[in-house]
Each structure stands twice: as structure tokens, then as C-alpha cells.
């Protein structure tokens, strides 16, 4: 690839970026981020949506069976046409626990893999599987998905799919080369409110979409300082990285409403962060002011604000705040020319339909009319599953698509576009809010890719 092809709008090529990357020592273990204004560029090749034959029984190998991984296993055991064939985790006790769950559900005992962090490679080589599903720490998502696809399996990963631009490209290029699916399991796209809004958008209730406002606003201070679970690895990201580290929960549902990668795409973004105070104050309060955790310098600003503009002129603000005392929110605002929906709490205003001008309505009657068909059919059985039922919905839909040969609701291009905001925001923050081009992972196919439809169970 020549330098001209390898340049982005900031006039910076990858060779230039490597020179600037001396500043990037802050993230080498986590994927890294330099202070340059350049974004990794579209590689050569042509985007092809993976196609596959229907799979009557989906044989799954699962990597990472902590809290969220075990929740997915529980869901999958309730869905027809699924066999859990193999389980991999660095903690043997967790593997044994899932093996017992599977046997209790009436399936044969799955093979166990627990010989260290890379034992997923042996699982992918040895096991005859249709799908490898991972719910591991972020740094393993790309390696596990790539190994799965290269050994002939479809891949599914918890969010984010990748934490670097190069990682996003590696997923896209591997999926295209192998013809395998690589799905980021963004459960928030399956929330009841999010799916109702998607249904309303498809029916034209909000008019032409103009703007979205989303975020991940979640007090994770206790989680980050815990000695188990995500606390083992998540705090390291706050120490070394500054940007929007977790964009996909809020961004995914609005991106689907806006037909991102299916008629529109993210064009560029800018990002700024506040100062960092929350983690130090929390540590000083709970561990004492002289504790190393209270004195640690945290790179992550308490609040990050990222603004995205699409090629078709839509805008999206994406907030990130995991270091402040606050109730949980993803905002979930969708603004159209005829009305607006906003979450937390859910409320709506439709011009000419809402009874009082300039006054929010509750959404109860709108659920009666616009509740998504999936929730109408599966709402009761999903209710007891994780995160209010949306975990079950996403697992159900993935298996349904594999068993019928239908296109996935979320594909590898969505995984890349929603995840790439992470490193691009870091680059923008490091350059005082400089504008960053978002790579076109579809290489132009977004112009002709059909939009998502309203699917039923």
C-alpha cells in the first residue's frame, strides 16, 4: 500500500503515526494510543458479507465463563438447537461449574480447557465447533475471534469487539477472508425500549432522524477497585487510557436506527475529557489517603464527551462516565423532525400526536402500539434472563440466524464501527479535540447494504 493510499484526512500516514507513537507508551499493553491525529486507514480488498448454510444444531465452544459468560451459557441452554461442546477458562473451577450446568440441562459433558490464557487456541484446533463465543477481558476479544475464524468457526464476542483500530481491521479482514461471521454481542440493541424505538423509527413516527444522544453512565468505582471479576483488569484501562472506553452500549441501538453501515456511516468525530478526580477520591475515602490507589495517577477523565457526524449529516453525542456517583443511564435519545424519544426515564413527544405541546408523555400507550414483535413473542421467557431480558434476546437471535442461514442483526462491520470510537476518541483527546476520520470498514458497501428490518421470533 503506498503512502497516498495510506493517508487519512489529517495528512498523516501510518509511518508518521509510528514516529508520533513515542507518546503511546501509555497503552502498549492494552493496544496503545498515540497522540497523532491520524486514524488507521481502509486496507485493500472489498467488503463481502459472510454467507453460510443453515446449521441445524449449533455446536458452541465458550471462552471465559465468569459472571457474564455463565449468564450466556444459561440462556443458550434454554434455546433449541444448541449444544455446548467445550468450555475454556483460566480458572478450572469455573470450567467445572459450567460442565455441571450443561450436564444438568441434559447435554453431554463438554470438554474442558483451562491450561492458561491461550488454551482457547487448543480448543479451536481440537474441537469440531460451529461457533466460538467469548466473554473474556477486552484484550482477548480479537485474538480469540481471529483464531476461531481461522479454524473454520463463526465468532461471537462480548463488547467491545476491539480496543484498537488495528484490532477492528483484523476482525473485518479475517471475517472477509474466511467467510465466517464475527458478531459483537451488543445486548443493549435488544432492550425493550430500544427495540420499540427502532420499530417507531421504521414506521416513520419520529420523522427524518437528525440527532442521537447516548452514553454509558455507570458508577463502576467499586468494580474497578475490587479484587475479583472485572476489577482484576478493568482498572488498568483507567490508569493508562483517556477517551470513551466503552461506547457500544449506547451507540449500538441508535446506530441501528440511523442505518449506520446500511445507507449511512460514521464520518468523523471529536472528543474531549474532563479532569480525573473520581477514582482518587473514592480510593482515599475507602482505603485511606496514603493508600497507593489513592495516590495513583489515572489518565481517564471522569467524563468524556465524543461527538460523531455521519456522512448524511446526522449527529450523535456519546458520553462516558464510570467514575462518578450517579444513577445508571444510557440516555437513549433519538431526535427526528417529527418528535423525540429519551430514556432514563422513558419519555416521548410527537408533534401533532402528543396531547400537550412541549410536554413529555410517558411511553405506556406507545408500548401497546409499537412494542417490537420479538418482545411481544419472547418477552415472558426473556424476562428472567440477564439485564432485563435483552441478553436472552441477543443469544436467541444469533442462534436463530445461524440455524436459518439468515443475515445477522449485527455483523463484523457494526462491531468495528461501534468499537473503533474507543481509540479514535483517545487520539482526539490527546490532540486537544482534533477531528478524527472514522474508517469505512465496509469500503463503500454502506451505500448499497440493505437496512435492517423488523424481525419476528
What's CA 126's distance to the chain center, in Å? 29
Cα separation, 336 vs 208, whole angstroms: 5
Confidence of residue 58 (pLDDT cuts 50, 70, 90): very high
Contacts of 229 (CB under 8 A, 6+ apart): 66, 67, 223
Give me the percent of the chain exceeding a pLDDT of 90: 86
**pLDDT tens figures, 289-337:** 999 999 999 999 999 999 999 999 999 999 999 999 999 999 999 999 9
Evaluate if residue 40 carries a pLDDT over 70: no
Q: How high is the pLDDT of residue 348?
A: 98
Cis peptide before 291 (omega within 30 of 0): no
What Å distances lie between residue 330 and 159, 165, 188, CA to CA? 15, 24, 9
DSSP label of 267: E
More confident residue, 305 or 52: 305
Q: How high is the pLDDT of residue 457?
A: 83
DSSP 76-129: HTTSTTEEEEEEE-SSHHHHHHHHHHHHHTTSPPPEEE-SSTTHHHHHHHH---
CATH architecture for residues 58-184: 3-Layer(aba) Sandwich (3.40)
**pLDDT tens figures, 79-133:** 999 999 999 999 999 999 999 999 999 999 999 999 999 999 999 999 999 999 9
Helix axes 412-419, 248-257, angle to 10 degrees: 120
Evaluate if residue 37 carries a pLDDT over 50: no
Evaluate if residue 24 carries a pLDDT over 50: no
Are the CB atoms for 66 and 135 separated by under 8 Å? Answer: yes
Q: What is the mean pLDDT of the chain?
A: 91
Confidence of residue 354 (pLDDT cuts 50, 70, 90): very high
Cell triple for residue 415?
A: 462491531
| pTM greater than the 0.85 cutoff | yes
Q: How high is the pLDDT of residue 386?
A: 78
Domain limits of the chain?
58-184, 189-382+410-447
Give the residue-averaged pLDDT of 389-409. Answer: 97
SS3 assignment, position 273: strand
In degrees and rounded to multiples of 5, residue 255 shows phi and psi of: -60, -40
Q: How high is the pLDDT of residue 8?
A: 42
Cα separation, 90 vs 112, whole angstroms: 11
Q: Which CATH number fits domain 189-382+410-447: 3.20.20.150, 3.30.70.580, 3.30.360.10, 3.40.50.720?
A: 3.30.360.10
Evaluate if residue 212 carries a pLDDT over 50: yes
**pLDDT tens figures, 232-289:** 999 999 999 999 999 999 999 999 999 999 999 999 999 999 999 999 999 999 999 9
Q: How high is the pLDDT of residue 278?
A: 98
Confidence of residue 385 (pLDDT cuts 50, 70, 90): confident
Confidence of residue 28 (pLDDT cuts 50, 70, 90): very low
Strands 266-273 and 209-217, sheet pairing = unpaired
Confidence of residue 17 (pLDDT cuts 50, 70, 90): very low
**pLDDT tens figures, 129-158:** 999 999 999 999 999 999 999 999 999 999
Q: Residue for cell digits 472489498?
A: 46
Amino acid at each position: 500500500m503506498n503512502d497516498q493510499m495510506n493517508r487519512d484526512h489529517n495528512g498523516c500516514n501510518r509511518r508518521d503515526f509510528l514516529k508520533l507513537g513515542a507518546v503511546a507508551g501509555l497503552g502498549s499493553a492494552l493496544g496503545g494510543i498515540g497522540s497523532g491525529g491520524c486514524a488507521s486507514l481502509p486496507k485493500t480488498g472489498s467488503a463481502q458479507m459472510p454467507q453460510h448454510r443453515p446449521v441445524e444444531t449449533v455446536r458452541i465452544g465458550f471462552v471465559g465463563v465468569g459472571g457474564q459468560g455463565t449468564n450466556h451459557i444459561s440462556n443458550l441452554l434454554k434455546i433449541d438447537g444448541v449444544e455446548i461442546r467445550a468450555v475454556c477458562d483460566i480458572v478450572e473451577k469455573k470450567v467445572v461449574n459450567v460442565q455441571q450446568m450443561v450436564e444438568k440441562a441434559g447435554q453431554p459433558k463438554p470438554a474442558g480447557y483451562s491450561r492458561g490464557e491461550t488454551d482457547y487456541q487448543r480448543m479451536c484446533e481440537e474441537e469440531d465447533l460451529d461457533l466460538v463465543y467469548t466473554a473474556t477481558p477486552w484484550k482477548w476479544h480479537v485474538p480469540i475471534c481471529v483464531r476461531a475464524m481461522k479454524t473454520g468457526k463463526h465468532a461471537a464476542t462480548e463488547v467491545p469487539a476491539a480496543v484498537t483500530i488495528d484490532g477492528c481491521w483484523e476482525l473485518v479482514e479475517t471475517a472477509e477472508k474466511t467467510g465466517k461471521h464475527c458478531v459483537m454481542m451488543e445486548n443493549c440493541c435488544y432492550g425493550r425500549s430500544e427495540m420499540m424505538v427502532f420499530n417507531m423509527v421504521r414506521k416513520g413516527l419520529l420523522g427524518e432522524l437528525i440527532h442521537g444522544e447516548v452514553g454509558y453512565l455507570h458508577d463502576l468505582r467499586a468494580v474497578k477497585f475490587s479484587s475479583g471479576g472485572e476489577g482484576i483488569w478493568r482498572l488498568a484501562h483507567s490508569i493508562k487510557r483517556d477517551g470513551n472506553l466503552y461506547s457500544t452500549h449506547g451507540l449500538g441501538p441508535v446506530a441501528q436506527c440511523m442505518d449506520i453501515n446500511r445507507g449511512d456511516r460514521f464520518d468523523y468525530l471529536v472528543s474531549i475529557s474532563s479532569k480525573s478526580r473520581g477514582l482518587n477520591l473514592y480510593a482515599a475515602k475507602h482505603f485511606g489517603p496514603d493508600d497507593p490507589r489513592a495516590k495513583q495517577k489515572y489518565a481517564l477523565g471522569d467524563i468524556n464527551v465524543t461527538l460523531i457526524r455521519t456522512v448524511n449529516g446526522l449527529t450523535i453525542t456519546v458520553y462516558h462516565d464510570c467514575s462518578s456517583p450517579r444513577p445508571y443511564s444510557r440516555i437513549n435519545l433519538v431526535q427526528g423532525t417529527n418528535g423525540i424519544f429519551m430514556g432514563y426515564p422513558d419519555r416521548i413527544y410527537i408533534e401533532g400526536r402528543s396531547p400537550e405541546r412541549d410536554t413529555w408523555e410517558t411511553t405506556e400507550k406507545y408500548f401497546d402500539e409499537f412494542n417490537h414483535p420479538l418482545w411481544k413473542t419472547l418477552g415472558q421467557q426473556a424476562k428472567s434472563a440477564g439485564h432485563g431480558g435483552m441478553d436472552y434476546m441477543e443469544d436467541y437471535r444469533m442462534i436463530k440466524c445461524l440455524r436459518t442461514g439468515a443475515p445477522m442483526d449485527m455483523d463484523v462491520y457494526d462491531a468495528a464501527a461501534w468499537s473503533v470510537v474507543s481509540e479514535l476518541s483517545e487520539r482526539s483527546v490527546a490532540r486537544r479535540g482534533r477531528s478524527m476520520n472514522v474508517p469505512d470498514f465496509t469500503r463503500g458497501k454502506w451505500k448499497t447494504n440493505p437496512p435492517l428490518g423488523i424481525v419476528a421470533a
